[in-house]
Amino acid sequence: MSFLRNIKDLFFPASKKNVLILGYKRAGKSTIVEQLIQHKILRQRREETHGAKTKEIQIELGETSHDFRITDIGGSQNYQDMLWKPFVAKANGMVYVIDSSLMYACKSGSLNPVDCPKPTQQGDRIICGCKDNDIFRSSRMAKSFAFSIMDTGKPLLVFLNKTDLKDQQPIHSQEELTYLYGLDNQKYNTRVETGSALTGQNVFEAIAWLFREMGT
């Protein structure tokens, strides 16, 4: 009996939490995972994830060591349909990544940020010039789907990524993204953070909140 228990503990350790990282494709999910592993400024962003990849990670946050499994799932439509829901059911906590760069939100195939009109203020509303293009619409739809299948009892960290680009091109502010993605009216235990997976800005501070909420 003890042998079987040891085998179970080896493959399914009770102390390890399952963290799920979701987001539309190329939002920076894999780069965040790599940042948690290397804990340094990275030379380049990771390639787009295909399928689901799970890694076991140990990090030190303050005086506390955290051992956990993190699963990174591709953000394209076919992975949303096939994989997001079953993995959400197994997760103890979730990270949802949003790309804050306007270049990504602009016309498909364009690398010129001037192709995307700047957001404008109309009363208390922010109107985004990108809001009707296909990529930005798909990104918002992915977020809506993810939030619709999440368990309200689990903590959710929303990470607004790629602030490292702000000196090279326009990016959306946290206020703009909060409005565009409807992040200010959530039924979940949610925290919204802004930072950069590439440089590590605010990644560990943000993930520390998730661990506290998961009870690790």
The residues, ordered by sequence, that sit 6+ positions from 69 with a Cβ below 8 Å of its Cβ are 16, 17, 18, 19, 54, 55, 56, 57
The structure's pTM equals 0.82
Q: How far apart are CA 154 and CA 156, in angstroms?
A: 6
The pLDDT value recorded for residue 179 is 80
Domains recognised in the chain with CATH numbers: 16-214 (3.40.50.300)
Mean pLDDT throughout 7-29?
A: 75
pLDDT tens-digit map of 103-122? 555 544 444 444 555 666 66
pLDDT tens-digit map of 50-105? 999 999 999 998 888 999 999 999 999 999 999 999 999 999 999 999 998 865 55
Q: Considering only CA atoms, give the Rg of the chain.
A: 18
94, 155 in Cβ contact below 8 A?
A: yes
